[in-house]
């Protein structure tokens, strides 16, 4: 396992992070014992960054992660989120920030968090996020209940805007650094380097899309992207003899800009496969072939959150607007 420093926090985090959404059965029913075994296997494999949220399984993921970590809390860095407890419901008030930390600490069976994050800032107004929500998070930090505070979200240009206003300790960007997307790097590099913010990359498989399997029915990627993925998988499999998911994960792990790449792991076998990506050697010419194939869909994404927070790219054709209400996890 390799480790990188998370911004100015001083935390040396594993480049492969444990996303705990699956422990909350976000992607279907899971055996709790398998989930607990996955946590143990990940720690044994050198993973020390664990990310969860009250939203995942509507507190179930926090409960199960807290139970799994009860004897090993001191071996990991633990992050959770606030302000989004149910799909379609958001509460960015200072009161909710203050209440949520105590609720999460109880479920996670700990008396402090390493990172406390405002979940999906694009669903709040900029004034509230900057002048109420984030200030409340800093007060939580000053209380000692969280060592560091951060923001998470989908629209990278809005994450940059908020970061320039509040200077969070961390930013978690999801879905914007993958085999078909690089805007996490192009849009956030300047601000994270200038302010020495710790950057985390979530959803390297783009919510299960960049695999050899069919994407979830609810996946919101534009149709050209959905049509392209089987072609990428075929290229990997037939020309280079490798698995698309392993290629996709290896590619994101090599991004030095992000301290850790967070991916869901629900069973020991999935932990083992993800750990194997650390030693995976990319076949010569494969990435060039993938990038040439995927040029027509490069950075073609969708919208999340409030309209005013979806700051358009220089080329508006990169984005395909859809229903701005997301109903699924970012891990």
In the set 3, 27, 49, 56, the catalytic residue is 56
Judge whether 240 counts as a catalytic residue: no
d(CA 301, CA 57): 26
For strands 77-82 and 49-51, give the pairing.
parallel
User: Tokens 């664990």 map to which residue?
Assistant: 50
d(CA 166, CA 216): 35
Decide: 139 and 172 in contact? Cβ < 8 Å. no
* Alpha carbon distances (Å) from 67 to 61, 105, 320: 10, 12, 41
Spatial neighbors of 272 by CB under 8 A, at least 6 apart, are 41, 45
d(CA 286, CA 213): 20
Decide: 232 and 297 in contact? Cβ < 8 Å. no
Torsion of CA 159, 165, 171, 177, to 10 degrees: 30
Residue numbers annotated as active site: 56
């Amino acid at each position: 396992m390799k480790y990188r420093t998370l911004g100015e926090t001083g935390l040396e985090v594993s480049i492969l992070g444990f996303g705990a959404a699956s422990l909350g059965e976000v992607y279907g029913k899971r055996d709790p014992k398998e989930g607990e075994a996955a946590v143990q296997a990940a720690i044994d494999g050198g993973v020390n960054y664990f990310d969860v949220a009250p939203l995942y399984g509507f507190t179930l993921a926090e409960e199960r992660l807290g139970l799994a970590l009860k004897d090993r809390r001191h071996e990991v860095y633990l992050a959770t989120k606030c302000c989004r407890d149910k799909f379609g419901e958001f509460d960015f008030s200072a009161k909710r920030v203050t209440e949520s930390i105590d609720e999460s600490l109880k479920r996670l069976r700990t008396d402090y968090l390493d990172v406390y994050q405002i979940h999906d800032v694009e669903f709040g107004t900029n004034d509230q996020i900057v002048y109420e929500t984030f200030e409340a998070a800093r007060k939580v930090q000053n209380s000692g209940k969280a060592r560091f505070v951060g923001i998470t979200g989908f629209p990278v240009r809005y994450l940059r805007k908020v970061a320039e206003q509040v200077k969070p300790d961390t930013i978690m960007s999801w879905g914007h650094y993958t085999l078909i997307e690089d805007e996490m790097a192009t849009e956030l590099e300047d601000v994270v380097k200038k302010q020495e913010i710790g950057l985390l990359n979530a959803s390297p498989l783009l919510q299960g899309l960049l695999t050899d399997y069919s994407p979830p029915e609810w996946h919101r990627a534009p149709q050209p992207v959905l049509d392209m993925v089987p072609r990428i998988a075929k290229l990997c499999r037939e020309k280079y003899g490798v698995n698309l998911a392993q290629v996709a994960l290896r590619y994101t792990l090599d991004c030095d800009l992000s301290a850790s790449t967070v991916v869901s792991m629900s069973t020991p076998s999935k932990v083992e496969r993800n750990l194997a990506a650390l030693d995976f050697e990319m076949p010569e010419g494969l990435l060039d072939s993938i990038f040439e194939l995927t040029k027509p869909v490069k950075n073609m994404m969708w919208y999340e959150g409030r309209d005013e927070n979806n700051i358009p790219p220089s080329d508006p054709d990169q984005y395909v607007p859809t229903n701005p209400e997301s109903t699924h996890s970012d891990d």
